[in-house]
Structure 1
């Protein structure tokens, strides 16, 4: 933990990210149960934001390509399939199991 807090970017380590998440759930409770760790996490430098790329010279940004719509089955076909499966299951359950007889 000490190595993670003393690294160049301590917020990028998974252990520190987890502790910050846990502290964010209930700060007072976390600081009560971890009196040394709570203040150390609060003294961390703010997170580094990645540099943003400037828009093209023309100022126009290409819109994201739309995803094609996914067709959904009709409700009638789904209901018919479920009804057929139910009828098949009941007819199968009502049959007596076949027994092999030794001759």
Structure 2
């Protein structure tokens, strides 16, 4: 039997991931924002290792494009963190599922 607390946490993490996804677009992997100094000002560009996504000029930090992509990257990072927590939790659930039947068998033999 799996702990109801672990199941509840599993469901909570899945719900959080969905909430983050529903809050807006998520940046793909291997995409980041790079500063591009030009004279006295700093402009930003979207850089990428993905061939599908070309470098994109984002403008200043106050621009709508910059803020949009910054939020997309933050959502991607939040999802990655939650998925890592979910993976660790799933390992605990799997471990508990394999240990509990073995423990139950021992109790039946007593």
- Larger strand proportion of the pair: 2
- Larger helix proportion of the pair: 2
Q: Compare CA radii of gyration and give the structure with the larger one.
A: 1
Range of TM-score over shorter length: under 0.3
* TM-score, length basis structure 2: 0.23
The one of the two structures with greater contact order (alpha-carbon pairs below 8 A, sep at least 6) is 2
* TM-score, length basis structure 1: 0.24
